[in-house]
Structure 1
Amino acid sequence: MPITNDYVLSCSNCRQQYPKNQLQTFCTQCGSSPIVVKYSLEITSSAQVIEPAERSMWRYSKILPLANPQNRISLGEGWTPILPLSNLARRLSLENLLLKDESFNPTGSFKARGLSMAVSKAKELGVETCIVPTAGNAGGALSAYCAKGQMQAIVVMPSHTPVAFQKECLAFGAALILVDGLIHDCARKVAAIKQEINCFDISTMKEPYRLEGKKTLGYEIAEQLNWELPDVVLYPAGGGTGLIGIWKAFQEMKQMGWVKNIPTKMIAIQAENCQPLVATVNGWQESAASYEGSATIANGLAVPRPFAERMMLKVLAQSNGDVLGISETEIAENLKEMAKVEGLLVAPEGAALLAGLKRLLKLNKIEKHHKVLLLNTGSAYKYLDNFSF
């Protein structure tokens, strides 16, 4: 049976291994690639691994890389519901349309999963101060988990981010630094701060453990759907940790025999204002290394140069997936439609998925009988200053 400590850290590209009892960032052997957790998994029953009494993502603690449970910093993240979108399904003539709603998480977004895991592991390895560049939700989540763990948080955020995100970080006691620009500009500021003070950077995919928290999305999707994976998952892809994490979970479950096959097409949805994956897939650029995006009402999608671009493209290739860019108008219109038709005020990143679904249906890339799952990353309440109703 897989056990918590039975893993190695290795580069996602060149397979260089790294000690797991030391703080790790990313691989420099092959030119800055993410380091990932690889488990020694065997065929085993899910009942032997899952802790059913634990109603959080930590029900999968046996396949998470925390050595000592006493270091767990949890606010009850995970085990969010999958909701049927029955009204929209009728409108779109779909037989099975579902929404995994991450707005139920602490601080109102899916970022709670990755930050719970990453901050827990950082605490276990002796970190006292964490820093992150953020488009919004990751900053709030880091601030909350550092507060719970009695650690210091530093959040570097674009100055145009809605005020609710800024106040959230301050409420949790974080040091908030505002930067003119997008998240890659914030990352440059983080790099400068790290030269001045001792702090650990928990940027997306620049340490190994946020991915492990995010992969619990994939485990929950499978378990909540009685181990029958969706035909299609639409995911709003900024930094891409969740996209990669869901696919990682599906692969691990297949290795353990929990699912027989993986029929799922992973569809990445981006904002037209910032669509680096779209540009790479369509051959408009070799990679996103120099991509210039602009701000979007879906703040979390304003990631012009995703550090894990290569891994995201690999998921799309392996799953026979696709990537689409959605306009600002479409995002706003579909956010309002989701609210009026389903009673759900989803994050603009989640609303972009509905627009993407409609386009895929018109292109005949999704069939009426497919089981389709949308992954709403959070609540719209913190974004309301971006919209008029």
Structure 2
Amino acid sequence: MSYKAWFQCASGCNERYELNEIIYNCKTCGGLLEVKHDIEKLKHRSPGSWMRLLDERYRRTKWPFGSSVWGKKEMVCPNVDNENVVSLYEGGSNLFWAERLGNIIGTEDLWIKQCGNAHTGSFKDLGMTVLVSMVKQMISEGKDIMGVACASTGDTSAALSAYCAAAGIPAIVFLPKNKVSTAQLIQPIANGALTLSLDTDFDGCMEIVQKICRENNIYLANSMNSLRIEGQKTVSIELVQQLDWEVPDVIIIPGGNLGNVTALGKGFLLMKELGMINKLPRIVCVQAAKANPLYQSYLSGFKEFKPVQAQMTLASAIQIGNPVSINKAIKMLKLFNGVVEQATEDELANAAALADKTGLFNCPHTGVALAALFKLLEKNEIKKDERIVIISTAHGLKFTDFKVKYHENKLEEVESKYANVPLELPPEYDKVNRAIIDKISEYS
């Protein structure tokens, strides 16, 4: 069976373009594009047959299908030849049963999808493997592409630089100066990317990178490029696969540029259209209170949207005031009975720390999602007996400064409820023994 995908205008005029065309907006109306698949061809295989095939490929060694993205190649990007796939064995991240945290907050069925357990430490790998593979495919077909560029708050630049380094394609990353962690900054540097630190915010970087790409034969890798969304939508398919093909009741995801919300919804809609599932979950999108344009729109029933000037937040990866995927995200949230919530600095930091005490090691953005869960449970908008999945977007090791300052009680606007500092003691048995006994007794 020969499968096919293409770009199509997402704004309603339905103009179509080939995936190997360097294009990001509809030529007719200027709207964003989305990747469409030949659903009728995909339906030639039965739902049960698809599920068996995906299970057979999952985490195996046959190239490129052991990747949890490329194991779903027919429904992600069939246009790339196998020899042009650039894969770092992405996907297959742990679906963590958060039993102890659930017991603390009173939920019966809580799971954390740990997308940060990835090659570059975030869910951005899932989309970047598709985009860079498509660039390699275009280069093999004779397209003149000087390099691939992105604006980033940290994680996108890490993923782009790693995949381009693996493919031997130049990468250019635009980062807002002093607004990404050291761990995030060093990743593109180590992978040899041309790293530009601009004295602006993400929205300022985004404006410049789009102009650079328009005026040069440089390919744009931000999430307005819907090839990224195709890889990221596999999160939905994978987590249902990990739950033995059962759909959770609620999924909570942090949102910045909002491509991840669109991707999450696309995966579920595809599975439902192919008959692999028979219901859709509710999607909750959460923003930092200091960068909350979607939340503000939600309060008006999505009747209007106004960009905001994003303020400095601990959740730096979602410090975005003018998300490019806003219209797609709103459309998706309406389809999924969506809820939008926000979290303050104090709420997100303490939520992350509480979860860490039960065996996790959360990035601040996962803290945003967890804080929303706590609030929505309290308001009874999420029921305690529902199956809940939190999408953890990055690894906590990228944010060690956030962790250290939390436990030293040095974060502005945060009262560290779960601070845990080392005990400094002389090397004397009696004093060490007494300290241990006193400390352990606090757990009983």
TM-score range with shorter-chain normalisation? over 0.9
Q: Report the equivalent of 1:172.
A: 191
List structure 1 runs of 4+ shifted beyond 6 angstroms.
Answer: none
Query: Which structure has more RCO (C-alpha within 8 Å, separation ≥ 6)?
Result: 1
> Which of 36, 45, 60 is 2:72 aligned to?
60
Are residue 76 (structure 1) and residue 92 (structure 2) matched? no
**Who is 2:378 aligned against?**
362
| 1:216 alignment counterpart | 234
Q: What residue number does 1:158 align with?
A: 176
Alpha-carbon offset, residue 285 of structure 1: 8.5
Give 1:338's aligned residue. 355
After superposition, give the CA deviation of every residue in 1:235-271 in whole Å (9 maximum; x if it has no partner): 0011122221121111111111111222x10000100
Identify the residue that residue 16 of structure 1 maps to in structure 2. 15
What's the TM-score, normalizing by structure 2?
0.83
**Distance apart, 1:141 and its partner CA:** 0.5
Partner of 1:96: 109
Seen in structure 2, the aligned counterparts of structure 1 residues 280 and 215 have a Cα distance that, compared at 3 Å, is same
Residues 297 and 306 in structure 2, CA contact (< 8 A), matched pair in contact too: no
CA RMSD of aligned residues (A): 1.8
Question: Which residue is equivalent to 1:121?
Answer: 134
Higher deviation after alignment, 51-60 or 69-78 = 51-60
User: Which whole-Å CA distance do the structure 2 matches of 1:57 and 1:20 have between them?
Assistant: 18
1:54-103 Cα shifts (integer Å, max 9, x gaps): 25322111212143011110111101110110111111111100000012
**Identical-pair percentage:** 27
Q: Distance in 2 between matches of 1:386 and 1:186?
A: 24
CA distance in 2, matches of 1:380, 1:48: 34
- 1:300 Cα deviation after fit: 1.4
Instruction: Tell me how far 1:212 sits from its aligned partner.
Output: 0.5
SS in 2 for 1:108: coil
Residue aligning to 1:311 = 328
**SS class of match (1:314):** helix
**1:23 and 1:125 in contact (8 A); partners too:** no
Against the structure 1 CA distance between its residues 109 and 278, is the aligned structure 2 distance closer, same or farther, given a 3 Å change threshold?
same
Q: What's the TM-score, normalizing by structure 1?
A: 0.94
| Residues 203-222 of structure 1 deviation map (CA, whole Å, 9 limit, x = unaligned) | 112x2200000011011011
CA contact (8 A) 1:37 1:208 kept: no
Contact 2:10 2:31 (8 Å CA) reproduced:
no
Structure 2 CA distance for aligned equivalents of residues 242 and 96 of structure 1: 23
Which residues of structure 2 form unaligned runs of 5+? 61-65, 140-144, 408-444
Q: Secondary structure at the match of 2:287?
A: strand
* Aligned twin of 1:301: 318
Letter in 2 for 1:352: V
Contact 1:288 1:305 in 2 (8 A): no
For the Cα contact (< 8 Å) 1:182–1:295, is it kept in 2? no
Alignment length (residue pairs): 384
What are the ranges of 5 or more consecutive residues in structure 1 without an aligned counterpart? none
Q: AA paired with 2:265?
A: W
Find the aligned partners of 2:163 and 2:98 in 1 and give their Cα distance.
Answer: 32
Instruction: Compare 140-149 and 15-24 and name the one that shifted more.
Output: 15-24
Q: Aligned residue for 1:381?
A: 397
TM superposition shift of 1:30: 2.2
Q: Describe the shift of the 1:355–1:105 C-alpha distance in structure 2 as closer, same or farther (beyond 3 A).
A: same
The answer as to whether partners of 1:23 and 1:122 remain within 8 angstroms in 2 is no
